[in-house]
């Protein structure tokens, strides 16, 4: 996430969380409920961030 300007970090975080809850709700629920973090979850999270950056503004 080195390409996110520091001054826009709060906006990026808020927009990313909103996007994640809407488009990747199952992943968000899994992390919230279990606190788990493994290779599969990390791969899904990377996809989430990549999709967000490619399609959204902040």
> How distant, in Å, are the alpha carbons of 5, 11, 29, 30, 34 from that of 1?
9, 13, 23, 23, 25
State the chain's mean pLDDT as an integer.
96
Average pLDDT over residues 43-51: 97
Cα dihedral 35, 13, 58, 47 sign: negative
pLDDT in tens, 14-32: 999 999 999 999 999 999 9
Residues 6+ apart with CB under 8 A from 36: 30
d(CA 31, CA 7) in angstroms, rounded, equals 27
pTM of the prediction?
0.85
């Amino acid at each position: 996430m080195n390409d996110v300007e520091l001054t826009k970090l709060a906006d990026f975080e808020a927009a990313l969380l909103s996007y994640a809850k809407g488009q990747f709700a199952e992943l968000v629920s899994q992390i919230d409920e279990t606190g788990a973090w493994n290779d599969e979850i990390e791969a899904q999270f990377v996809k989430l961030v990549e999709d967000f950056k490619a399609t959204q503004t902040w």
